[in-house]
Structure 1
Amino acid sequence: MNKMIARLLMVAFCSALVPAAAHADEPSEIRFATEAGYPPFEFLDPSGELQGFDIDIGNEICKRLQAKCVWIDQSFDSLIPGLQARKFDLANSTMTATEARARVIDFSEPMYIVPVRLAARKGSGLEPTAESLKGKRVGVQQGTTMETYARQNWANNGVTIVAYPSYTDAFNDLAGGRVDATFQEAQNAIEGFLSKPAGADFELTGSTVDDSPILNEPIAMGIRKGNKKLKKTIDEVLREMKADGTMQTFADKYFQKENIRIAP
């Protein structure tokens, strides 16, 4: 498949795993938006095909609903405006269901929770605190909860926060010494940087930030405000996938055990 086409659109026609009558108001097509630069959640494989944990979840939803999956790749910070503009039906891109976001969009049933860690040069000893990071430059992705947390807790205490369109750019600057650390979900740092040759001299450092609501809310799919029929249908399928072990099976495929927890 042409790589450019794959970045814009991937269509999956899937057979049903459950009878069509099992879900109310089933859509015939579901348009998912994602930012395909965040492995292992969503990424392009060497052939340009869209892959990842969130992609498997979305494709499974379409399979169970006998719906056509349409995948649209765009920047993370454009997902909420795109939902509001009706450019797609669901934002499925490791989006934390924060209170602030819930004021402008709705969210699906919670899917999973992932820990957030710093990545830095080996032996740096950096911790995710203003005291430890004072005088340092920390890379985050624009529009993420990590950016929000860093600006609220570190930016006014001598820490320079550098926001990037994607973590790929942040990791490049970490390798090049232009930032001292990056702040992201742990498994993304492992898959996107630490497991690659450029990340050989770097590691996850410091403790997991577990005392902040904004970083410990579950990941969910974003839905346009008022789209109650779609929300009801998606919630039903997600609950099924958690109950029958499908969600955990997908998690085991992509994550180290300590780096994800399926939401209850």
Structure 2
Amino acid sequence: MKTTLLGAALLIAAGLIPAVGAAADAKELKIATEAGYPPFEYRNPNGQLEGFDIDIGNELCKRLNRTCVWIDQSFDSLIPGLQARKFDLANSTMTATEARKKVIDFSTPMYIVPVKLMVKKGSGLQPTAESLKGKRVGVQQGTTMETYARKHWAPKGVEVVAYPSYTNAYVDVTAGRLDATFQEAQSAVEGFLNKPEGAGYELADMTLDDPILNEPIAMGIRKGNAIKADVDKTLKAMLADGTIQGYAKKYFAEGLIQFPAQ
């Protein structure tokens, strides 16, 4: 999902950090996320972090006997933050692409989510350069969706507009400044389509099958961080015993998430 320092302040989630059952003196595990991407990571009306990735991270801390400290910052600053040792893990719907693997490590794969184009009902738009020529498509900065759109669509006359958050993109959709947005399908459902302002919009029928978009989601880890072995072992156990799949049932419609074979 995201790569540029935007200078966003690190918001250590004091008072918003779930206890997750760890001992009071347990070693901290600092996990960064961008809490503007429901249902993966977001803040509830009380300002507390919630979401699929948050549930996974809290359970990881519990099983490792660590105290979770969540750090909320822009997605495109997650990799620089890892490299600067500002936190231990990046858990924010980050796709484990080959390009990212050159600069950080990743945990064992956790899940895969399909990517969809969100369009106005009746527009007939589909995620192809031919269909979108002359149109404006919103993506989030630093995401694999931006990478794909700039590689395959922009050279063929599609205007790709990048935003710090899809929240901003959805505002521009309703204002008529965008013709479509391109994101994980469930994020569009939770972040826009299920809201009153999303009533006139839908997901395009076509689902793209491309290596850029179909890489698994994993946790980012600084290269050389010895915690990777414990994180991998714990996440594999959480998949094997159905914990992660159980969390998914809280957030995802059927068919909008897949899991690695066990």
How far apart, CA to CA, are the structure 2 residues paired with 1:15 and 1:99? 36
Counterpart contact for 2:31–2:89, Cα < 8 Å = yes
Query: What do you get for the CA RMSD once the two structures are aligned?
Result: 1.5
Give 1:66 deviation, angstroms: 1.5
Q: Secondary structure at the match of 2:255?
A: helix
Structure 1 runs of 4+ aligned residues shifted over 4 Å read 4-9
Note the C-alpha offset of 1:113.
0.1
Per-residue deviation at 1:206? 3.1
Partners of 1:134 and 1:158 within 8 A in 2: yes
What residue in structure 1 maps to residue 214 of structure 2? Answer: 216
Unaligned 5+ runs, structure 2: 1-9
TM-score by length of 2: 0.92
Quote the Cα distance in structure 1 between the aligned partners of 2:137 and 2:212.
18
SS at match of 2:213: helix
Contact 2:144 2:212 in 1 (8 A): yes
Q: In the alignment, what sits opposite 2:260? A: 263
| 2:189 counterpart of 1:190 | yes
Indicate how the Cα distance of structure 1 residues 58 and 121 shifts in structure 2: closer, same or farther if over 3 A, else same.
same
Residue 165 of structure 1 pairs with residue 164 of structure 2:
yes
The answer for unaligned runs of 5 or more in structure 1 is 17-26
In the alignment, is the contact (CA less than 8 A) between 1:7 and 1:48 conserved in 2? no
Aligned to 2:42: 43
2:17 aligned residue: 11
Residue 95 (structure 2) pairs with residue 96 (structure 1): yes
Task: Report the counterpart of residue 3 of structure 2 in structure 1.
Answer: none
Helix, strand or coil: the match of 1:235?
helix
Aligned length: 249
Instruction: Give the distance between the partners of 1:168 and 1:258, measured in 2 at CA.
Output: 24
| Residues 8 and 72, structure 1, Cα contact 8 Å, conserved in 2 | no
Is this contact kept in 1: 2:137–2:181, CA < 8 A? Answer: yes
Q: CA deviation at 1:8?
A: 6.9
Is residue 194–residue 200 contact of structure 1 (8 Å, CA) maintained in 2? yes
Which secondary structure does the structure 1 equivalent of 2:108 belong to? coil
**Could you tell me whether the CA contact under 8 Å between 2:139 and 2:181 is conserved in 1?**
yes
Equivalents in 2 of 1:248, 1:236: separation in Å?
17
**Residue 249 (str. 1) matches residue 226 (str. 2):** no
Paired position in structure 2 for 1:20: none
1:29–1:6 distance in 2 versus 1, CA, 3 Å:
closer
- Structure 2 equivalent of residue 106 of structure 1: 105
User: TM-score w.r.t. structure 1 length?
Assistant: 0.91
Aligned equivalents of 2:173 and 2:21: distance in 1?
A: 43
Query: What letter corresponds to residue 164 of structure 1 in structure 2?
Result: Y
The residue number in structure 2 matching 1:240 is: 237
Deviations 1:12-69 (A, max 9, x none): 33336xxxxxxxxxx8211000000000000000000000000000000011111100
Name the counterpart of 2:6. none
> Are 2:41 and 2:52, in contact at CA under 8 Å, matched by a contact in 1?
yes
Task: Report the residue type matching 1:257 in the other structure.
Answer: E
Q: Spell out, residue by residue over 1:106-140, the C-alpha distance to the aligned partner (whole angstroms, 9 max, x if none).
A: 00000000000000110111111000000000000
Which amino acid is the alignment partner of residue 187 of structure 2? Answer: N
AA aligned to 2:241 is D
CA distance in 1, matches of 2:177, 2:50: 30
Identity %, equivalent residues: 67
Contact kept, 8 Å, 2:12 with 2:69, in 1: the verdict is no
Kept after mapping to 2: 8 A contact 1:8/1:73 = no
The separation in 2 between residues aligned to 1:10 and 1:143, in whole angstroms, is 27
Higher helix share: 1
Amino acid at match of 2:170: F
* Equivalent residue letter for 1:165: P
Q: 2:138·2:160 contact (CA, 8 Å) conserved in 1? A: yes
